[in-house]
A and B are shown apart, each in its own frame.
Chain A
Amino acid sequence: MITFEQVTKRYADGTVAVSDLSLEAPTGRITVFVGPSGCGKTTSLRMINRMIDASSGRILIDDRDVRGVDPAELRRGIGYVIQQAGLFPHRRVLDNIATVPYLLGWDKRRARDRAAELMELVGLDAGLASRYPFQLSGGQQQRVGVARALAADPPILLMDEPFSAVDPVVRASLQDELLRLQEELHKTIVFVTHDIDEAIKLGDSIAVLRVGGRLAQLASPAELLARPADDFVAGFLGRDRGIRSLSFVPARSVRLRPVTTVSLSADVDEARRTARDAGEDWLLAVGDDGTPRGWVSPLDLPRAGTLAETPLLAFGSYDRDADSLRAALDAALLSPTGHAVALDGDGAIAGVATQRALSEALAEAAALTAPPPRPVSPGLRPDASGAHRDGEHAGGVREAPPGSMGDGREASRG
């Protein structure tokens, strides 16, 4: 666990970059520092590995003051990833990754074996091992940067806008990769970004900072979206936070109804008959493997032929167990029927969520995530004297809506 205790950083020119910051970054979790440019995120992060020393206050790693540790020793035990990967241009990829093991005096063979292992872990092709950094794409360089930070298996990882220099598609895949790695490695990660969406996607808890390095709110993503502490946080979260907060409500609560299916190999007469017998306006065409292929309206069918030959209407599906209410809603919007197809873990059809069922689930979610009546309770106002005590709840959620934190996160990743 990393603990900030009333940490202030005043630079030589008098700029107060961080003031009286108290918070905890829990072990094995991702804590995100987010806020507008110049709010002191980088300064806060770099005080952890003593790239910058605090002017006052203490930073503890597992109850040990970092000021009591030799900076170089300290840093060898803390992975550090920066925006421009900062790879050594004169060293091959493998040796770049093995930097800290070499520093720690591992023999060359062991260090390189470890580096090769990490390349695989972060999804780098082994063929890249003997390349130089300038021969890599930006995304590959960032992966090398992450592998290098992980090489000596440090329990802590500090990441300063590591993915902000790559295009959105690569960024999304790097983020997914980080979450996958984290599921395996359980590092204590402090991640800096100015992108609130990235913060919400990655964070177990999010510290929103305002200029001057003052903590505006520390909360889980779900809590943050549902109950921003003040107008600054709400403004920073952006407009559609209601919709986004649905990412943290599991879709499991949506009531499903059975759906009438028809095989793709059936001919149109059979389809019409099936619809009439079932009294349905819509049929779900399925392939031989039982997976949904599209909606069929008996009224729009041609006179002859099989369903495989007729154009089907688009459908949207979601995973009943793993996905969020947001995904279910999205699936419904993708289909002209307004129904979302719910699948179980094996991809088999579990039923459909109708518009009505979805609205009911939305209403329930709204009741759970609605802001408490004003005035806001003191615990939610870190600017008040309760700031420090509030910090001790790092990542914790009071009055948590069902599915926030643990399973809510799962839902968002589905």
Chain B
Amino acid sequence: MTWFWEFVSDPANWSGPSGIPARLLEHLTYSGVSLLLAAAIALPLGLLIGHTGRGGIVALVAANAARALPTLGLLVLVILLIGYGVAPVLIPLVVLAIPPILVNTYAGLRGVDADLRDAARGMGLRGPQVLFRVSIPVALPLILLGLRLAAIQVVSTATVAAFVGLGGLGRFIVDGLATKQYPSTAGGAVLVALLALLVQGIFTVLQRVIVSPGVSGRVPVGKAG
């Protein structure tokens, strides 16, 4: 902890392209872009297979296989294939983020009571209306859980960018190790951990705001009637 204080109280660490703000921004950019890409792939796919119930097994097996891939190994592999750059960093992070989003979205939709969907159809909702007006709102807690797990993993793992010469908070860790400046290493590690906690907090708030109280069972006092 003292290392951490030593690290954050050094004014030199707060300015310039290798200061904390710049590194943090880089880190957030890699994480954010990866997460968005992963969500853009996994959410629609998860919704589709969860809603139709078709192709579920194939997608889940693929997702689990992807989980088993070591991120660093994948990173090296991608660099060997396409060279250095931002893309080789994003690809492993996207691969890392897809499984939790896909699996939880799928599980969330499959978990929606069949009678409920049946009632919705029986009232004249069409397939997409059933999905967007009933299934998604009801499955939202699990969908958000998947996004949260993905976000935390990505934020924690985005440190790998530093191994291939890119920025992000990983730089502090890698450079600190290389030069035996342990306050930097510790500082970087703690910042990453704090960021993960922040992500957790953001999702908790998000959950409160967008999940219906009727689904979460959390009803404001006085409105319960």
Contacts and interface: CB of A to CB of B under 8 A. Distances in A.
Given A84-B115, A135-B224, A91 B125 contact: no
B115 A134 contact: no
B129 to A, nearest CB: 8
Interface in A95-124: 99-100, 103
Contacts of A149: 123
A82 B215 contact: no
Contact of A100 (B124, B213, B217): B124
Given A89-B214, A135-B224, A73 B124 contact: yes
A132 B122 contact: no
B180 interface: no
B118 interface: yes
A51 B121 contact: yes
A71 to B, nearest CB: 8
A132 B219 contact: yes
B219 A135 contact: yes
Given A84-B115, A90-B214, A49 B122 contact: yes
A257 interface: no
A103 B225 contact: no
A90 B139 CA distance: 10
A226 to B, nearest CB: 36
Nearest to A129: B225
A128 interface: yes
B215 A90 contact: yes
A90 B122 contact: no
Contact of B138 (A51, A90, A92, A100): A90
Nearest to A91: B214
B119 A103 contact: no
Interface in B115-140: 115-116, 118-126, 129, 133-134, 137-138
A130 B129 CA distance: 23
A11 interface: no
A131 interface: yes
Contacts of A87: 119
Interface residues of B, number: 25
A130 B225 contact: yes
B200 interface: no
A171 interface: no
Nearest to A100: B123
A88 B225 contact: no
Interface in A277-294: none
Interface in B202-225: 212-215, 217, 219, 223-225
A76 B124 contact: yes
A86 interface: yes
Contacts of B138: 88-90
Contacts of A127: 225
Contacts of A49: 122
Interface of A: 49, 51, 72-77, 80, 82, 84-92, 99-100, 103, 127-128, 130-135, 148-149
23 contacts: A49-B122, A51-B122, A72-B124, A72-B125, A74-B124, A75-B122, A75-B123, A80-B119, A82-B119, A82-B122, A84-B115, A86-B115, A86-B118, A86-B119, A86-B120, A88-B214, A89-B138, A90-B215, A91-B212, A103-B123, A103-B125, A128-B225, A135-B219
5 closest pairs, A vs B, by CB? A86-B119, A132-B214, A76-B124, A90-B212, A75-B124
